[in-house]
Amino acid sequence: MGLQFYNTATRRKEAFVPLREGKVSIYACGVTVYDLCHIGHARSAIVFDVMVRYLRAKGFEVTYVRNFTDVDDKIIDRAGQLGQDTGTLAQTYIDAFREDMARLGVLEADVEPRATDHIDGMRRLIQRLLDRGYAYESGGDVFFSVEKFESYGALSGRNLDDMKAGSRVAVDERKRHPMDFVLWKRSKPGEPQWPSPWGPGRPGWHIECSVMSSQYLGETFDIHGGGEDLLFPHHENERAQSVAAGDGAFARYWVHNGFVTLESEKMSKSLGNFLTIREALATYHPEVLRLFLLSKHYRSPLDFSKEAVLGMQAGLVRIYRTLQKLREWVGPFSVDHHTVEGSLTQGASDPFLQPFIGFMDDDLNTAGAIGVVFEKVKEINKGMAADQGDPNPEAMSRLKADFRNLILAGHILGLFQQEPETFFSQVSDAGEGIDPAVVEALIQERAQARRRKDWARADEVRNRLKEMGVILEDSAQGTTWRLDV
Per-residue pLDDT tens over the stretch 401-460: 999 999 999 999 999 999 988 898 888 665 555 667 778 888 888 988 898 898 988 888
What three-state secondary structure class fits 481?
strand
**167, pLDDT greater than 50:** yes
**369, pLDDT greater than 90:** yes
At 272 the pLDDT is: 63
**304, pLDDT greater than 70:** yes
Which residues are within 8 A (CB) of 249 and not within 5 positions of it... i.e. 6 or more apart? 219, 220, 243
Average pLDDT, the chain: 90
**469, pLDDT greater than 90:** no
At 271 the pLDDT is: 62
Q: With residue 220 as reference, give the H or E element that holds it.
A: strand 220-227
Cα–Cα separations (whole angstroms), residue 415 to 178, 298, 418, 419, 480? 47, 17, 8, 11, 20
At 485 the pLDDT is: 40
Which residues are within 8 A (CB) of 231 and not within 5 positions of it... i.e. 6 or more apart? 8, 155, 156, 256
23-32, 124-133, 374-383, 471-480, range with the lowest pLDDT: 471-480
Superfamily of the domain at 23-266: HUPs (3.40.50.620)
Cα–Cα separations (whole angstroms), residue 85 to 81, 82, 164, 191, 288? 10, 9, 37, 9, 37
At 262 the pLDDT is: 87
Q: What percent of the chain has pLDDT over 90?
A: 66
pLDDT in tens, 22-49: 999 999 999 999 999 999 999 999 999 9
Are the C-beta atoms of residues 47 and 299 closer than 8 Å to each other? Answer: no
Are the C-beta atoms of residues 361 and 351 closer than 8 Å to each other? Answer: no
Q: What is the greatest pairwise CA distance in the chain?
A: 85
**185, pLDDT greater than 60:** yes
pLDDT in tens, 227-257: 999 999 999 999 999 999 988 889 999 999 9
CA–CA distance, 325 with 391 (Å, rounded to integer): 13
Domain range summary for the chain, segments of one domain joined by + = 23-266, 305-426, 434-483
At 227 the pLDDT is: 96
At 483 the pLDDT is: 62
| pLDDT level of residue 191 (50, 70, 90 thresholds) | very high
Q: Indicate the pTM of the whole model.
A: 0.88
pLDDT in tens, 135-166: 999 988 999 999 999 999 999 999 887 776 55
